[in-house]
Amino acid sequence: MSAKTIKPADPVVLRLREAARIAPDLSDAARLYEAILPVLRDADLGEAPLALAPGEVARLLAEGVPLLSGLSLDIDLQAAEELMLELLGRVVALAEIGRPPGRLRFWTHAPPKAAAAGNSAFAVLQGAARQIRDAFQSGRLDIAGVLSAAASGDLPGLRQTARGQQLDPELLWIMAQHCIKPALQSWRRQIAPAVDELSWHHGFCFLCGASATLGELQDNVQAKHLRCAQCGADWHFPVLQCLQCGNEEHSSRPHFYLDGQGDRRVEACDACHSYHKVITAFTPTEPELLVVEDLLSLQLDFVAQQRGYLKANSRYTAKPL
């Protein structure tokens, strides 16, 4: 699988470099994203068209069921494995250069106690990426199983798989989620015309079921939308409603801002002690930039968590039969 040449004017690269300039402590995470995000945007997993009729789309959304829930992934597994190996290779190559980083937003797993005291976070990351790459290349890891777990949100299952192979579970999860993005975003583009006029007032994505990454205030009227960084979906959402518990009581929905950053804030909920981040974007943020905006608003996560709130987890969970 070949990737297009990354040009200096690439908006993803430019935004990441701006992030590193604004917040130097994010520079190492920005370098990692700069290596992999343009590859993901340009990747082709040969996904099959969604077999959903307009009536079926309307029925699922009316029942509050994400459109991909229960469907088998139909992608080119060879292309997916090539993409996974390319992403891991870029992480390994990037980890070989540069100074030891401070905090890695991309990968936050602490090195094991047995690791040499002098190991940098990049060196540990490099070793973990190499081990995962070797497991795929040797056939010890099955790409179909890994990507199915990522698409369905089965973090416990993927952690068990990783530990059984003595691999880093967090890095495997993150790489699997990134690897499936090209197919999810292609399906989102395909289904977009069928969902434009339909209502969806849930905190999880109408397509893939992932928790909303960010809230976004759009247009001159500042209408609230939720955005999914996994597939790029965009949907209207009630301005006062909590993503996690549905609470709409204004007095129990505090907002927090950072000094000098009136265009982004935390919206918290005292009923369930959750929070989510909201940014102002008069035009919708491009799907490939959502993960960058999440990175740029990382300080808001610290503010909310210091006040005792936990990030809203509204991922879709299928109801038992």
- Residue-wise pLDDT tens digits, 216-270: 999 888 899 999 999 999 999 999 999 999 999 999 999 999 887 888 999 999 9
- ∠ Cα 33 147 164 (to 5°): 100
What does the alpha-carbon distance between residue 227 and residue 207 come to, in Å, rounded to a whole number? 11
pLDDT at position 100: 41
Please state, rounded to an integer, the average pLDDT across all residues of the chain: 86
pLDDT at 107 over 60: no
pLDDT at 62 over 80: yes
Single out the residue of 182, 148, 229 nearest to residue 1, CA to CA.
182
What does the alpha-carbon distance between residue 287 and residue 299 come to, in Å, rounded to a whole number? 21
pLDDT at position 11: 87
pLDDT at 197 over 80: no
Mean pLDDT of 67-94: 91
pLDDT at position 103: 42
pLDDT at 44 over 60: yes
pLDDT at 101 over 90: no
What does the alpha-carbon distance between residue 8 and residue 78 come to, in Å, rounded to a whole number? 30
> What is the pLDDT confidence band of residue 200, given thresholds at 50, 70 and 90?
very high
pLDDT tens digits, one per residue of 115-167: 333 346 678 888 999 999 999 999 999 999 999 899 888 999 999 999 999 99
Give the phi and the psi of residue 316 in degrees, each rounded to 5: -65, 135
Q: 223 forms bridges with which residues in the sheet?
A: 218
Helix, strand, coil percentages (3-state) for the chain, rounded to 5, are: 45, 10, 45
pTM equals: 0.87
pLDDT at position 3: 52
What percentage of the chain reaches a pLDDT higher than 90? 61
Q: Which residue has the higher pLDDT, 260 or 1?
A: 260
Q: Which residue has the higher pLDDT, 8 or 301?
A: 301
pLDDT at position 203: 95
Using CB atoms within 10 Å of the CB of residue 70, give its burial: 0 to 12 exposed, 13 to 18 middle, 19+ buried: exposed
Mean pLDDT of 273-289: 93
